[in-house]
Amino acid sequence: MITLLFFGRLGDFAVGVPTTMEASTPAEIRTLLAADFPALAKELSEPQVLVSVNKMIVDWDQHLLKGSEVAFLPPVTGG
């Protein structure tokens, strides 16, 4: 199983989204979410949104190992 995390404004769109799922890439997660959560999937397709696996920024086609933590990160606004 893959653990899913949504930060910043993406969290508002991810209400009711499962916290885990089976998937082989972050891109596949986005595709799978599109069926039940089209607004969230649209947000995830914004080019500024980054994806991390186990707290490292990766490409959307990164192969996911069992037990990975995938986080979706909108543009940061700290400081």
Partner 1 sequence: MHTIRIQTDDFDLAQEYQLLRELSSTVGAVVTFTGLVRDFEGEGSIESLSLEHYPGMTESLLEEIVGQAHKRWSLIGTTVIHRVGELLPTDQIVFVGVASQHRADAFEAAQFLMDYLKSKATFWKKVSQDGEQQWIESKDSDAAAANRWDTDSV
Q: What are phi and psi of 74, to 5 degrees?
A: -75, 170
For residues 12 and 33, give the distance between their C-alpha atoms in angstroms, rounded to a whole number.
Answer: 15
Residue 72, classified by CB atoms within 10 Å of its CB into exposed (0-12), middle (13-18) or buried (19+), is: buried
Binding flag, residue 52, partner 1 (CB under 8 A): yes
CB of 8 or CB of 18, closer to partner 1: 8
Binding flag, residue 8, partner 1 (CB under 8 A): yes
Binding flag, residue 5, partner 1 (CB under 8 A): yes
For residues 76 and 10, give the distance between their C-alpha atoms in angstroms, rounded to a whole number.
Answer: 12
Binding flag, residue 15, partner 1 (CB under 8 A): no
Cβ at position 44, least distance to partner 1 in Å = 15
Positions that interact with partner 1 (CB under 8 A): 5, 7-9, 11-12, 48, 52, 55, 71, 73-79
